[in-house]
Amino acid sequence: MEITAQAVKELRELSGCGMMDCKKALVACEGDVDKAIDYLREKGLASAAKKAGRIAAEGIVESYIHMGGKIGVLVEINCETDFVAKTDEFKELAHDIAMQIAAAKPTYVRREEVDPAELEHEREINRAKELAEPKPKPANIIEKIVEGRIEKYLKDVCLMEQPFVKDPDKTVTDLINEKIGKIGEKISVRRFVRYEMGEGLQKRQDNFAEEIAAQIAAK
C-alpha cells in the first residue's frame, strides 16, 4: 500500500513524532491513522516526543447543545499532551462529560470548590427540620443525619461525585480514572458553564432535568 506524504504529515501533526517514525507506523498499520497512533504510543515514541511527565495544561473545550437548543454546555477538560487531546478517545470522554453536565446539572466540579457558608446553610436547614419533628432525636443522632444529608447534597451538586448518566453504577470520577488508566495521562475537568433556556425567567417543570438525563442515557 502506498503511503502518501499527506498521510505522514497528518500523523506527524497528531503525534509530534518524526517523519520516518510516522511513515513506519503507517506502513505497519496499512495506512490506518488511528491504528498508527496506537502503534506509536505502544512503541513509546509519542510519549517521548511530547515529554512525558508534563503538567495537565493541554486539552480541549467541548461544547454540547441539547436537541432543540434548550440547554448548552461548555466544559474544559485537561490532559498532559496535545497528542492525547486530539485522540478520539479523549474527545469522546469530553463529550460524555458535557452531556453529563447538561443532564445532571452540577454546580461545581469538585467538593473542594463548595463555599463553606453554603454547606453551613444546608446544615442549618436540615437541623431545623429534625428539631421541628414532634419527637426530636438526640443531638448526636441529629448531627449524623445532617452530615449524611450534606454528603448526599455534595454528590448532587459536584460533577465528580455524580453517578455517570450512561452507567449509574460508576461515578464521573470512576469514569475519568478508567480513562487515565487506559490513556496513561493525567486527566482533569477544570471548569464548565451550563446554560438553560429561560432559566431565571420562568419556572420549569420539576421533571425537566430527569427527562433530559433519560434522553442522554438512551443514546
Residue pLDDT, tens place only, 81-100: 888 999 999 999 999 999 99
pLDDT greater than 50 at residue 209: yes
> For residue 196, is it left (φ>0), alpha (ψ between -120 and 50) or beta?
beta
Predicted local distance difference test score (pLDDT) of residue 204: 52
The pLDDT, as a whole number, for residue 51 is 40
State the average pLDDT over residues 59-84: 91
What structural domains and CATH numbers belong to the chain? 5-49 (1.10.8.10), 58-110+158-217 (3.30.479.20), 115-155 (1.10.286)
- The alpha carbon of residue 11 and the mean position of all alpha carbons in its chain are separated, in whole angstroms, by 26
* Secondary structure of 3-47 in HEC code, one letter for each residue: CCHHHHHHHHHHHCCCHHHHHHHHHHCCCCHHHHHHHHHHHCHHH
Q: Is 38 exposed, middle or buried (0-12, 13-18, 19+ CB in 10 A)?
A: middle
**Residue the block writes with cell 517521548:** 48
Task: Report the alpha-carbon distance of residue 152 to residue 23 in Å, rounded.
Answer: 53
State the Cα–Cα distance between residues 38 and 33, nearest whole angstrom. Answer: 9
Q: What is the mean pLDDT of residues 54-76?
A: 87
User: What is the pLDDT at residue 207?
Assistant: 60
> Where is average pLDDT lowest: 9-18, 119-128, 129-138?
9-18
Written as nine digits, the cell of 12 is 506527524
Residue 120 has a pLDDT of: 93
At 8 the pLDDT is: 87
Dist. CA 192–CA 178, nearest whole Å: 21
CA distances from 2 to 5, 7, 36 (A): 10, 10, 15
Mean pLDDT is lowest, of 44-48, 54-58, 189-193, 201-205, for 44-48
Q: pLDDT at position 43, please?
A: 66
What is the pLDDT confidence band of residue 45, given thresholds at 50, 70 and 90?
low
Instruction: Work out the pLDDT band at 157, boundaries 50, 70, 90.
Output: very high
Vertex 86 angle, CA 30 and 19, to 5°: 50
Which set of grid coordinates corresponds to residue 131?
428539631
Name the average pLDDT for the chain.
84
Q: What is the pLDDT of residue 47?
A: 45
Q: Are 158 and 35 in contact (CB under 8 A)?
A: no
pTM of the full predicted structure? 0.64
Q: Reply yes or no on whether the pLDDT at 131 is more than 60.
A: yes
Residue-wise pLDDT tens digits, 163-199: 999 999 989 988 988 888 788 788 889 999 999 987 7
DSSP letters, 52-110, are: TT--S-EEEEEEEE-TTSSEEEEEEEEES-HHHHTSHHHHHHHHHHHHHHHHH--SBSS
Q: What is the pLDDT of residue 49?
A: 46
Q: How confident is the model at residue 161 (pLDDT cuts 50, 70, 90)?
A: very high
